[in-house]
């Protein structure tokens, strides 16, 4: 079991993070079972999509609360920016670069193409163009890393230019401006490109940094609302959760019911669909951020999965599943055999992720406060 001081953890946010990684795992299980245009495959794909979107909004919410305190309660200068980035990078860089090297070794061993490899060391593999065909799950990490850099430097720039008396309002203005700017990128994309399939959309819009940063900044906006309007945030939490659930129901089932398919309504998909998903997820934050603790055995499992979720994300697909699929052609397996393969895959992933977290990720994070 992971040894950790969990007294200050918020169970609702752990539940959110654990749910996100389980949905991502479910999404990639589609690679195990034979492909087909059926409901099961569609649900797995949707699960993977929702998992990553939850990570984006949750990440924005968490860093938003951190940097809001730094921005409003202290002198916000270049030193404060680098302090924020140092803590973020100790959280994300060690695991990322270790698993990047592991993926490179696997690629060479399996003769997989590694064109544009240098881009991965600077998170440029999908900055303004479709993801390169290597270590594909890293696309979301590029989005997060650029958000971590853009947010504090944007706040610093506006602070130095305006020297505001009300820092909280300036924080809000910067966040709204960032959301607007990266929402506009999708409009520019739509005006210049024609997309007629979901596969094209997945590669050219959903997984490209400059079209996705607003998802994280929507989470930051939710953080600002949770701090400035805390009483209202708490009192109306179930109303917002119901609205969020309704929105998820709409873009999950309503799209098909109303015939909002990408070949006929490309503007909806290119411009509206992704921000709609981010907002719907953010609407669950009032409920989940107030769910402080739960003493059940299930809760301990949720916290465990949450703690190792980053390691799971990095290991589960490009390392574990790719190697297992290299030696076992699951497309030829029966449903029962594929289920057994899936159980083994998930077990190996959790075990390796716990080891990575326990002996590498957590020790590296602990250095944030001593270096």
Domain boundaries, position 241: 11-369
Distance CA(187)–CA(14), nearest Å, equals: 34
CA distance 14 to 304: 9
1 found inside a domain: no
Find all residues with CB under 8 Å of 12, minimum gap 6, and list them.
287, 288, 289, 290, 291, 292
Q: Domain count of the chain? A: 1
pLDDT on residue 297: 81
Among all chains, which residue has been given the structure tokens 């569609």? 42
Per the domain annotation, does 259 fall within a domain? yes
Residue given tokens 């669950």 in the structure block: 284
pLDDT score of 2: 41
> Does any domain span residue 201?
yes
Residue 147 domain flag: yes
Question: Is 191 inside a domain boundary?
Answer: yes
Q: Which residue stretches of 74-197 are H helix?
A: 78-109, 139-162, 167-192
Q: Which pLDDT tens digit goes with each residue over 161-212?
A: 988 889 999 999 999 999 999 999 999 999 999 888 998 999 999 999 999 9
Instruction: Yes or no: say if 103 and 319 are a contact pair by the CB < 8 Å rule.
Output: yes
pLDDT score, position 127 = 97
Does 4 fall in a domain? no
CA dist 6 and 307 (Å) reads: 10
d(CA 24, CA 27): 5
Residue 6 domain-assigned (yes or no): no
pLDDT along the chain (371 residues), means of 10: 58 97 94 72 87 98 96 90 95 97 94 90 96 93 98 95 90 98 97 90 96 98 97 96 95 88 94 97 97 83 96 97 92 88 97 98 87 61
The reply to whether 345 falls in a domain is yes
pLDDT at position 354: 98
Quote the CA–CA distance of 64 and 133 in Å, as a whole number: 32
The three-class DSSP label of residue 303 is helix
């Amino acid at each position: 079991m992971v040894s950790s001081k969990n007294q200050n953890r918020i169970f609702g946010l752990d539940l959110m993070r654990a749910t996100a990684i389980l949905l991502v795992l479910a999404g990639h299980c589609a690679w195990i079972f034979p492909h087909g245009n059926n409901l099961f495959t569609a649900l797995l794909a949707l699960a993977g999509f929702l998992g990553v979107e939850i990570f984006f909004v949750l990440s924005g919410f968490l860093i938003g609360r951190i940097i809001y305190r730094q921005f409003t309660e202290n002198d916000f200068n270049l030193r404060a920016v680098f302090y924020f980035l140092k803590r973020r990078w100790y959280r994300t860089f060690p695991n990322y670069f270790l698993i990047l090297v592991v993926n490179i070794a696997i690629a060479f061993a399996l003769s997989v193409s590694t064109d544009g490899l240098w881009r991965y060391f600077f998170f440029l593999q999908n900055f303004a163009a479709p993801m390169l065909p290597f270590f594909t799950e890293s696309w979301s990490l590029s989005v997060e890393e650029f958000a971590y850099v853009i947010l504090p430097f944007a706040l610093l720039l506006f602070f130095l230019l305006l020297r505001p008396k009300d820092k909280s309002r300036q924080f809000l203005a910067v966040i709204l401006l960032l959301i607007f700017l990266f929402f506009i990128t999708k409009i520019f994309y739509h005006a210049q490109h024609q997309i007629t399939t979901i596969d094209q959309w997945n590669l050219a819009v959903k997984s490209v940094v400059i079209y996705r940063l607003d998802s994280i900044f929507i989470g930051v906006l939710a953080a600002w609302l949770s701090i400035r309007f805390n009483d209202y945030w708490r009192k109306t939490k179930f109303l917002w959760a119901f609205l969020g659930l309704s929105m998820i129901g709409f873009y999950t089932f309503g799209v098909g019911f109303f015939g909002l398919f990408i070949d006929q309504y490309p503007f909806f998909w290119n411009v509206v669909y992704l921000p709609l998903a981010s907002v719907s997820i953010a609407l669950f934050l009032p409920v989940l951020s107030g769910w402080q603790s739960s003493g059940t055995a299930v809760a301990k499992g949720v916290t465990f999965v949450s703690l190792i979720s980053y390691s799971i994300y990095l290991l589960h697909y490009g390392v574990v599943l790719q190697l297992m699929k290299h030696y076992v052609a699951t497309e030829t397996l029966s449903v029962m055999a594929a289920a057994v393969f899936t159980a083994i895959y998930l077990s190996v992933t959790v075990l390796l992720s716990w080891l990575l977290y326990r002996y590498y990720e957590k020790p590296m994070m602990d250095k944030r406060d001593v270096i």
